[in-house]
Protein backbone atom coordinates (compact mmCIF):
# COMPACT_ATOMS: atom_id res chain seq x y z
CA UNK A 1 0.00 0.00 0.00
CA UNK A 2 3.01 2.31 -0.31
CA UNK A 3 2.83 5.15 -2.79
CA UNK A 4 5.28 4.63 -5.64
CA UNK A 5 7.84 7.34 -6.18
CA UNK A 6 6.17 9.96 -4.03
CA UNK A 7 5.18 10.94 -0.55
CA UNK A 8 1.46 11.52 -0.26
CA UNK A 9 1.06 15.24 -0.52
CA UNK A 10 3.84 16.13 -2.96
CA UNK A 11 1.79 17.77 -5.70
CA UNK A 12 2.06 16.37 -9.19
CA UNK A 13 4.17 13.35 -8.23
CA UNK A 14 2.88 9.91 -9.27
CA UNK A 15 0.95 8.16 -6.54
CA UNK A 16 -0.12 4.53 -6.44
CA UNK A 17 -3.79 4.25 -5.56
CA UNK A 18 -4.86 2.08 -2.65
CA UNK A 19 -6.82 -0.87 -4.04
CA UNK A 20 -9.38 -3.29 -2.66
CA UNK A 21 -6.78 -6.14 -2.66
CA UNK A 22 -4.39 -3.82 -0.74
CA UNK A 23 -7.02 -3.40 1.97
CA UNK A 24 -7.78 -7.09 2.09
CA UNK A 25 -4.05 -7.87 2.41
CA UNK A 26 -3.40 -5.23 5.09
CA UNK A 27 -4.29 -7.49 7.97
CA UNK A 28 -1.93 -10.28 6.95
CA UNK A 29 0.74 -7.60 6.53
CA UNK A 30 0.18 -6.46 10.12
CA UNK A 31 -0.85 -2.99 8.99
CA UNK A 32 -3.45 -0.98 10.93
CA UNK A 33 -5.92 0.58 8.53
CA UNK A 34 -7.08 4.17 8.84
CA UNK A 35 -10.44 5.25 7.47
CA UNK A 36 -12.21 8.61 7.76
CA UNK A 37 -15.46 9.88 6.37
CA UNK A 38 -15.35 12.68 3.81
CA UNK A 39 -18.14 14.51 2.06
CA UNK A 40 -16.50 17.19 -0.09
CA UNK A 41 -13.51 17.81 -2.33
CA UNK A 42 -11.24 20.10 -0.25
CA UNK A 43 -11.60 17.94 2.86
CA UNK A 44 -11.00 14.77 0.86
CA UNK A 45 -7.85 16.34 -0.60
CA UNK A 46 -6.49 17.20 2.86
CA UNK A 47 -7.26 13.78 4.32
CA UNK A 48 -5.83 12.03 1.26
CA UNK A 49 -2.64 14.08 1.41
CA UNK A 50 -2.38 13.29 5.13
CA UNK A 51 -2.23 9.61 4.16
CA UNK A 52 -5.52 7.94 5.16
CA UNK A 53 -6.07 4.56 3.50
CA UNK A 54 -9.82 4.72 2.94
CA UNK A 55 -12.24 7.63 2.56
CA UNK A 56 -15.83 6.65 3.22
CA UNK A 57 -18.51 8.87 1.77
CA UNK A 58 -20.74 7.89 4.68
CA UNK A 59 -24.49 8.19 4.74
CA UNK A 60 -23.68 10.20 7.88
CA UNK A 61 -23.58 12.94 5.23
CA UNK A 62 -27.22 13.19 6.25
CA UNK A 63 -26.59 14.36 9.83
CA UNK A 64 -23.15 15.90 9.51
CA UNK A 65 -23.62 18.00 6.38
CA UNK A 66 -27.22 18.07 5.18
CA UNK A 67 -28.88 18.80 8.53
CA UNK A 68 -31.11 15.71 8.75
CA UNK A 69 -31.58 14.19 12.19
CA UNK A 70 -30.76 10.63 11.13
CA UNK A 71 -29.18 8.87 8.15
CA UNK A 72 -32.54 7.64 6.86
CA UNK A 73 -33.55 10.57 4.62
CA UNK A 74 -30.36 10.88 2.54
CA UNK A 75 -30.92 9.91 -1.11
CA UNK A 76 -28.87 8.21 -3.81
CA UNK A 77 -28.66 11.49 -5.72
CA UNK A 78 -27.29 13.31 -2.66
CA UNK A 79 -24.80 10.51 -1.97
CA UNK A 80 -23.60 10.48 -5.60
CA UNK A 81 -23.25 14.26 -5.68
CA UNK A 82 -20.93 14.15 -2.66
CA UNK A 83 -19.10 11.01 -3.80
CA UNK A 84 -18.12 12.74 -7.05
CA UNK A 85 -16.83 15.72 -5.07
CA UNK A 86 -14.73 13.47 -2.81
CA UNK A 87 -13.33 11.50 -5.75
CA UNK A 88 -12.21 14.75 -7.40
CA UNK A 89 -10.06 15.51 -4.34
CA UNK A 90 -8.44 12.09 -3.97
CA UNK A 91 -5.26 10.77 -5.55
CA UNK A 92 -4.34 7.83 -3.33
CA UNK A 93 -7.03 6.67 -0.88
CA UNK A 94 -9.65 4.06 -1.67
CA UNK A 95 -13.04 5.78 -1.94
CA UNK A 96 -16.01 3.78 -0.63
CA UNK A 97 -19.60 4.90 -1.21
CA UNK A 98 -22.08 4.18 1.56
CA UNK A 99 -25.36 2.75 0.25
CA UNK A 100 -28.18 4.89 1.71
CA UNK A 101 -31.33 3.54 3.30
CA UNK A 102 -33.67 1.86 0.77
CA UNK A 103 -31.04 1.80 -1.97
CA UNK A 104 -30.39 -1.91 -1.32
CA UNK A 105 -33.09 -3.15 1.07
CA UNK A 106 -35.71 -3.28 -1.70
CA UNK A 107 -34.18 -6.11 -3.74
CA UNK A 108 -31.09 -7.28 -5.60
CA UNK A 109 -31.90 -5.52 -8.84
CA UNK A 110 -32.21 -2.13 -7.10
CA UNK A 111 -29.11 -2.86 -5.05
CA UNK A 112 -26.93 -3.75 -8.05
CA UNK A 113 -28.14 -0.74 -10.00
CA UNK A 114 -27.56 1.66 -7.10
CA UNK A 115 -24.23 0.16 -6.06
CA UNK A 116 -23.14 0.23 -9.70
CA UNK A 117 -23.98 3.94 -9.83
CA UNK A 118 -21.45 4.59 -7.05
CA UNK A 119 -18.75 3.09 -9.29
CA UNK A 120 -20.01 4.23 -12.69
CA UNK A 121 -21.26 7.76 -11.90
CA UNK A 122 -19.62 8.47 -8.54
CA UNK A 123 -16.12 7.16 -9.26
CA UNK A 124 -15.96 5.15 -6.01
CA UNK A 125 -14.09 1.84 -5.95
CA UNK A 126 -16.40 -0.03 -3.58
CA UNK A 127 -19.62 0.27 -1.58
CA UNK A 128 -20.58 -0.36 2.03
CA UNK A 129 -23.85 -1.89 3.18
CA UNK A 130 -25.22 -2.36 6.68
CA UNK A 131 -26.46 -5.65 8.09
CA UNK A 132 -25.40 -9.18 8.95
CA UNK A 133 -26.08 -12.58 7.50
CA UNK A 134 -29.33 -11.52 5.86
CA UNK A 135 -27.20 -9.47 3.47
CA UNK A 136 -24.94 -12.38 2.49
CA UNK A 137 -26.88 -13.20 -0.70
CA UNK A 138 -26.84 -9.55 -1.68
CA UNK A 139 -23.08 -9.30 -1.10
CA UNK A 140 -22.62 -12.25 -3.50
CA UNK A 141 -24.86 -10.62 -6.10
CA UNK A 142 -22.93 -7.34 -5.90
CA UNK A 143 -19.61 -9.11 -6.22
CA UNK A 144 -21.00 -11.03 -9.23
CA UNK A 145 -21.64 -7.58 -10.69
CA UNK A 146 -17.94 -6.69 -10.08
CA UNK A 147 -18.73 -4.41 -7.13
CA UNK A 148 -16.46 -4.79 -4.07
CA UNK A 149 -18.39 -4.67 -0.79
CA UNK A 150 -17.46 -3.53 2.71
CA UNK A 151 -19.75 -4.92 5.44
CA UNK A 152 -21.00 -3.12 8.56
CA UNK A 153 -22.36 -4.82 11.70
CA UNK A 154 -23.11 -3.90 15.31
CA UNK A 155 -24.78 -0.52 15.80
CA UNK A 156 -26.10 -0.01 12.28
CA UNK A 157 -27.67 3.48 12.16
CA UNK A 158 -30.14 2.58 9.39
CA UNK A 159 -31.76 0.17 11.89
CA UNK A 160 -32.28 2.94 14.45
CA UNK A 161 -36.01 2.26 14.82
CA UNK A 162 -35.60 -1.52 15.07
CA UNK A 163 -32.90 -1.06 17.73
CA UNK A 164 -35.03 1.51 19.59
CA UNK A 165 -32.29 4.15 19.38
CA UNK A 166 -28.54 4.27 18.83
CA UNK A 167 -27.72 1.52 21.31
CA UNK A 168 -24.44 -0.29 21.87
CA UNK A 169 -24.88 -3.82 20.47
CA UNK A 170 -23.31 -7.11 21.58
CA UNK A 171 -23.52 -6.59 25.33
CA UNK A 172 -24.84 -10.09 25.99
CA UNK A 173 -23.06 -13.34 25.10
CA UNK A 174 -25.81 -14.49 22.76
CA UNK A 175 -25.64 -11.13 20.96
CA UNK A 176 -21.89 -11.53 20.50
CA UNK A 177 -22.46 -15.01 19.04
CA UNK A 178 -24.99 -13.55 16.61
CA UNK A 179 -22.56 -10.81 15.59
CA UNK A 180 -19.79 -13.36 15.07
CA UNK A 181 -22.11 -15.48 12.89
CA UNK A 182 -23.08 -12.38 10.93
CA UNK A 183 -19.44 -11.47 10.36
CA UNK A 184 -18.57 -15.00 9.24
CA UNK A 185 -21.50 -15.10 6.81
CA UNK A 186 -20.45 -11.78 5.30
CA UNK A 187 -16.85 -12.93 5.02
CA UNK A 188 -17.93 -16.13 3.32
CA UNK A 189 -20.02 -14.07 0.91
CA UNK A 190 -16.91 -12.12 -0.10
CA UNK A 191 -16.69 -8.75 1.68
CA UNK A 192 -13.18 -7.26 1.62
CA UNK A 193 -13.44 -5.47 5.00
CA UNK A 194 -15.92 -5.14 7.84
CA UNK A 195 -16.92 -2.09 9.87
CA UNK A 196 -17.68 -2.88 13.53
CA UNK A 197 -19.68 -0.10 15.15
CA UNK A 198 -20.83 0.53 18.71
CA UNK A 199 -20.01 -2.60 20.68
CA UNK A 200 -18.00 -3.56 23.77
CA UNK A 201 -14.31 -4.14 23.13
CA UNK A 202 -14.72 -7.87 23.87
CA UNK A 203 -17.28 -8.18 21.06
CA UNK A 204 -14.99 -6.32 18.65
CA UNK A 205 -12.19 -8.69 19.60
CA UNK A 206 -14.33 -11.84 19.25
CA UNK A 207 -15.47 -10.80 15.77
CA UNK A 208 -11.97 -9.78 14.68
CA UNK A 209 -10.61 -13.14 15.83
CA UNK A 210 -13.42 -15.02 14.05
CA UNK A 211 -12.75 -13.61 10.58
CA UNK A 212 -9.72 -13.09 8.37
CA UNK A 213 -10.86 -9.92 6.60
CA UNK A 214 -9.76 -6.63 8.16
CA UNK A 215 -12.16 -5.20 10.73
CA UNK A 216 -12.42 -1.42 11.00
CA UNK A 217 -13.81 -0.26 14.31
CA UNK A 218 -15.77 2.77 15.41
CA UNK A 219 -16.54 2.48 19.09
CA UNK A 220 -15.56 -1.20 18.93
CA UNK A 221 -12.35 -1.17 20.98
CA UNK A 222 -8.66 -1.67 20.33
CA UNK A 223 -8.49 -5.11 18.75
CA UNK A 224 -9.83 -4.20 15.31
CA UNK A 225 -7.49 -4.19 12.30
CA UNK A 226 -8.13 -0.49 11.82
CA UNK A 227 -10.16 2.44 13.05
CA UNK A 228 -12.60 4.84 11.47
CA UNK A 229 -13.91 8.16 12.73
CA UNK A 230 -16.47 10.54 11.33
CA UNK A 231 -14.54 13.58 10.08
CA UNK A 232 -16.73 16.02 12.03
CA UNK A 233 -15.99 14.18 15.30
CA UNK A 234 -12.24 14.18 14.53
CA UNK A 235 -12.11 17.94 14.06
CA UNK A 236 -14.84 19.05 16.49
CA UNK A 237 -17.26 20.43 13.93
CA UNK A 238 -21.03 20.35 14.39
CA UNK A 239 -23.69 20.44 17.04
CA UNK A 240 -23.80 18.24 20.11
CA UNK A 241 -21.22 16.51 22.25
CA UNK A 242 -18.70 14.07 20.78
CA UNK A 243 -19.56 10.40 21.20
CA UNK A 244 -17.56 8.61 23.89
CA UNK A 245 -15.46 6.68 21.37
CA UNK A 246 -14.42 9.75 19.35
CA UNK A 247 -11.19 11.60 19.96
CA UNK A 248 -11.28 15.28 19.02
CA UNK A 249 -8.04 16.40 17.41
CA UNK A 250 -9.21 19.96 16.76
CA UNK A 251 -11.99 22.37 17.70
CA UNK A 252 -13.27 23.68 14.39
CA UNK A 253 -16.49 24.91 15.98
CA UNK A 254 -14.41 27.39 17.94
CA UNK A 255 -12.03 28.24 15.06
CA UNK A 256 -14.83 28.87 12.55
CA UNK A 257 -17.05 30.70 15.03
CA UNK A 258 -14.17 32.94 16.09
CA UNK A 259 -13.23 33.74 12.46
CA UNK A 260 -16.83 34.70 11.71
CA UNK A 261 -17.08 36.86 14.85
CA UNK A 262 -13.83 38.69 14.00
CA UNK A 263 -15.01 39.31 10.42
CA UNK A 264 -18.34 40.69 11.66
CA UNK A 265 -16.49 42.98 14.06
CA UNK A 266 -14.06 44.19 11.36
CA UNK A 267 -16.84 44.97 8.87
CA UNK A 268 -18.93 46.77 11.48
CA UNK A 269 -15.92 48.78 12.69
CA UNK A 270 -14.97 49.72 9.13
CA UNK A 271 -11.68 47.83 9.52
CA UNK A 272 -12.36 45.56 6.56
CA UNK A 273 -11.38 45.87 3.76
CA UNK A 274 -8.07 47.62 4.31
CA UNK A 275 -5.89 49.38 1.73
CA UNK A 276 -4.15 46.06 1.00
CA UNK A 277 -7.46 44.31 0.31
CA UNK A 278 -8.83 46.56 -2.43
CA UNK A 279 -8.29 46.71 -6.19
CA UNK A 280 -7.13 49.95 -7.67
CA UNK A 281 -7.50 51.14 -11.25
CA UNK A 282 -6.48 54.41 -12.85
CA UNK A 283 -9.49 56.74 -12.57
CA UNK A 284 -8.96 57.70 -16.24
CA UNK A 285 -9.27 54.07 -17.48
CA UNK A 286 -12.13 53.87 -19.99
CA UNK A 287 -15.00 51.80 -18.60
CA UNK A 288 -15.04 49.57 -21.72
CA UNK A 289 -11.40 48.52 -21.20
CA UNK A 290 -12.12 47.36 -17.67
CA UNK A 291 -15.29 45.56 -18.70
CA UNK A 292 -13.47 43.68 -21.53
CA UNK A 293 -11.15 42.01 -19.01
CA UNK A 294 -14.11 40.04 -17.73
CA UNK A 295 -14.61 38.46 -14.32
CA UNK A 296 -11.68 37.36 -12.19
CA UNK A 297 -9.26 40.04 -13.43
CA UNK A 298 -6.41 41.03 -11.16
CA UNK A 299 -4.22 44.11 -11.08
- The answer to the question of residue 60 lying near ligand KIV (CB under 6 A) is yes
Name which of 15 and 90 has its Cβ closer to ligand KIV. 90
Q: Print the binding letters for residues 88-127 with ligand KIV: x by CB under 6 A, - otherwise.
A: ----------x-----------------------------
Q: Are 193 and 23 in contact (CB under 8 A)?
A: yes
Name which of 16 and 248 has its Cβ closer to ligand KIV. 248
Name which of 71 and 205 has its Cβ closer to ligand KIV. 71
Q: Are 213 and 168 in contact (CB under 8 A)?
A: no
State yes or no: is 197 an active-site residue: yes
| Terminal CA-CA length for the chain | 46
Identify the residue among 179, 193, 220, 230 touching ligand KIV (CB under 6 A).
230
Identify the residue among 129, 147, 153, 218 touching ligand KIV (CB under 6 A).
218
- Cα 13 to Cα 191: distance, rounded to the nearest angstrom: 32
Listing DSSP states for 207-274 in one string gives HHHH-SS-EEEESS-S-SSEEEE-HHHHHT-SSSPPPTT------HHHHHHHHHHHHHHHHHHT-SS-
Candidates 56-64, 159-167, 201-209, 288-296; binding stretch for ligand KIV (CB under 6 A)? 56-64
Identify the residue among 186, 195, 211, 235 touching ligand KIV (CB under 6 A).
195
* Residue closest to ligand KIV, measured at CB: 58
Name which of 59 and 182 has its Cβ closer to ligand KIV. 59
- Catalytic residue IDs: 197
Interaction site with ligand KIV (CB under 6 A) = 37, 56, 58-60, 98, 195, 197, 218, 228, 230
Amino acid sequence: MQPTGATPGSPGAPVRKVTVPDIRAARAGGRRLVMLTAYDCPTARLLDEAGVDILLVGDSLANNVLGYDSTLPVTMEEMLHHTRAVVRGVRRALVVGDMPYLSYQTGRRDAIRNAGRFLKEGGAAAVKIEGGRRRAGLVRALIDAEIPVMGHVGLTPQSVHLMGGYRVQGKRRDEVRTLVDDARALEEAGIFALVLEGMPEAAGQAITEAVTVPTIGIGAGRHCTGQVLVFHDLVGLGAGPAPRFARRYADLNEIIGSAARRFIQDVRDGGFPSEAEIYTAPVSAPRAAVARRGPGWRS
